[in-house]
């Protein structure tokens, strides 16, 4: 019997599952790899497969999942060994099990100073990286909603003191419910992680990228005006559309608002970005909309209504 060619949906799902496998090293994987919990036979086989597939990158991927810090393979391998040894010493001293996350936090904020600074990265960078871990969303590695709002308040305070402009992007994954319904939440989670990684790669280090809802992401851009923020939004939109072009056609809609152009109050600024985001959705998704452009459009439309067609002032 002749074997039928796979349907596009089947090929689509296989590509998505390969993408899931690329993102298999998360915090749960790291904890299991460190021995925080026992592995069954299936999990052991999966860990062995991933170790073999990642090769020299394996320990670097473990450290990145744990601390969101990308290190060269040799440094990552040394750090991983140091973290496990420090965790073991902590457990012995405390008389109880210690997770790899707790051991890493203690080592990188205090314990490493006892062994000198030659291992890995400078102390200030270690502290900043590990302090950030507690403020991040566990799935995507982006900052969480509370941290985003706190940093947004900080930018508003800075604006009040120094008149420093800034902008906000709100991003919503288009048709995300369809991805979850069709392919399952495991694939949906992988899609969010991939998009988050693209945002981190594209945004400047000074920016604050965050997950502010289920499939809603945000970027805070200190020093940026509406045009700069919209340009970044367009780069993000294009990269994300390209990354998923051959998979599910996943895209993002983006709204842009800026301080002081659109608002000088936290809730008003977020509302302005949300209105712009909703406009992107209404116009067909996969696009970037600036709130100030909406305001100018409304002004032009209201002016046109108030004037007769010959252009003379309305009586």
Catalytic residue annotation: 215
Three-state DSSP class for 136? strand
Picking from 133, 156, 181, the residue at the C-terminal end of a domain is 133
Rounded to an integer, what distance in angstroms lies between the CA atom of residue 137 and that of residue 210? 8
The number of folded domains in the chain is 2
Q: 157 and 128, same structural domain?
A: no
How do the pLDDT tens digits run along the chain, 315 residues long?
Answer: 444 444 445 666 666 555 555 566 777 888 899 999 898 898 899 899 889 988 888 998 898 878 767 788 899 999 999 999 999 999 999 999 998 988 888 887 665 544 443 344 444 455 455 555 557 787 888 888 988 999 999 999 999 999 999 999 999 999 999 888 888 888 888 889 889 989 988 887 678 999 999 999 999 999 999 999 999 999 999 999 998 876 667 899 999 999 999 999 999 999 999 999 999 999 999 999 999 877 666 645 554 444 343 343 333
H or E segment and range at residue 285: none
Three-state DSSP class for 77? helix
Give me 70's structure tokens.
Answer: 């990308």
Give the single-character DSSP code of 140: T
Picking from 102, 133, 164, the residue at the C-terminal end of a domain is 133
Q: 272 and 292, same structural domain?
A: yes
Please say whether the beta carbons of 237 and 286 come within 8 A: yes
120: in domain: yes
Q: Is the peptide bond before 260 cis (omega within 30 degrees of 0)?
A: yes
Rounded to an integer, what distance in angstroms lies between the CA atom of residue 54 and that of residue 14? 20
Give me 127's structure tokens.
Answer: 């502290």
> What's the burial of 224, exposed, middle or buried (CB within 10 Å: 0-12/13-18/19+)?
buried
Q: Cβ atoms within 10 A of the Cβ of 202, count? A: 17
Q: 280 and 200, same structural domain?
A: yes
Strands (E), the chain: 166-173, 208-211, 216-222, 252-259, 288-290
Task: Note down the domain range covering 295.
Answer: 145-301
């Amino acid at each position: 019997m002749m074997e039928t060619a796979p349907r596009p949906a089947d090929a689509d799902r296989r590509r998505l599952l390969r993408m899931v496998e690329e993102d298999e090293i998360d915090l749960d994987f790291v904890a299991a790899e460190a021995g925080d919990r026992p592995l069954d036979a299936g999990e052991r086989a999966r860990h062995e497969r991933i170790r073999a597939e990642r090769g020299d990158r394996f320990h670097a991927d473990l450290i990145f999942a744990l601390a969101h810090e990308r290190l060269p393979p040799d440094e990552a391998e040394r750090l991983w060994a140091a973290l496990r040894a420090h965790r073991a010493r902590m457990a012995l001293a405390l008389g109880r099990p210690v997770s790899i996350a707790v051991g890493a936090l203690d080592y990188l904020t205090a314990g490493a100073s006892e062994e000198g600074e030659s291992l890995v990265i400078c102390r200030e960078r270690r502290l900043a990286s590990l302090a950030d871990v507690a403020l991040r969303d566990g799935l995507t590695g982006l900052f969480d909603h509370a941290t985003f709002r706190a940093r947004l308040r900080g930018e508003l305070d800075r604006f009040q003191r120094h008149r420093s402009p800034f902008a906000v992007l709100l991003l919503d994954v288009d048709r995300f419910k369809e991805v979850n319904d069709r392919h399952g939440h495991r694939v949906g989670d992988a899609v969010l992680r991939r998009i988050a990684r693209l945002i981190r790669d594209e945004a400047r280090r000074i920016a604050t990228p965050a997950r502010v809802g289920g499939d809603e992401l945000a970027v805070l851009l200190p020093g940026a005006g509406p045009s700069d923020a919209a340009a970044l939004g367009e780069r993000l939109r294009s990269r994300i559309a390209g990354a998923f072009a051959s998979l599910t056609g996943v895209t993002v809609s983006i709204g842009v608002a800026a301080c002081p152009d659109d608002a000088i109050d936290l809730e008003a600024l977020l509302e302005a970005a949300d209105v712009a985001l909703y406009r992107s959705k209404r116009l067909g998704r996969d696009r970037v909309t600036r709130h100030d452009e909406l305001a100018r459009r409304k002004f032009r439309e209201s002016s046109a209504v108030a004037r007769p067609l010959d252009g003379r002032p309305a009586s």
